[in-house]
A = this chain, B = another copy of it.
């Protein structure tokens, strides 16, 4: 699998993810793509999501309910999880990448990055 060939299924997944502001699971994506490609396979969705994540065109967020979620907006941003309604929202805030340096200070290995999400109450729930 050296050369990556075009596929309309993959294009549809990319398109769907770039249009939604939700952070859907693989299964939700599958259900949605099925409306335009009724016999797309769930395996195809997973394989392409992995490809897209690897190519850096999609972000994988591992939700705390066991299933991964995907985000087509790849500019650096942070997520907020509402403790009450369990919604995932985007946070607009300045970068906190300096915490990598803080972590690296006395660590024998090499810290390359971090994953952070914030939690609390969203506007409607507070």
A residues lining the B interface (CB < 8 Å): 62, 64, 78, 80, 82-83, 89, 91-94, 96, 99-100, 102-103, 105-126
In the complex, which of the residues B111, B119, B124 contacts A114, with contact meaning CB atoms closer than 8 Å? B119
Task: Kindly provide the distance from the CB of A46 to the nearest chain B CB, expressed in whole angstroms.
Answer: 13
The 26 sampled A-B contact pairs (Cβ below 8 Å) are A62-B62, A62-B64, A78-B103, A89-B109, A91-B103, A92-B107, A93-B103, A93-B105, A93-B106, A93-B107, A94-B102, A94-B105, A96-B96, A96-B102, A99-B116, A108-B123, A109-B120, A109-B125, A111-B120, A112-B119, A112-B120, A113-B119, A114-B116, A114-B117, A114-B118, A114-B119
Nearest residue (CB) in B for A89 is B109
How many copies altogether? Answer: 2
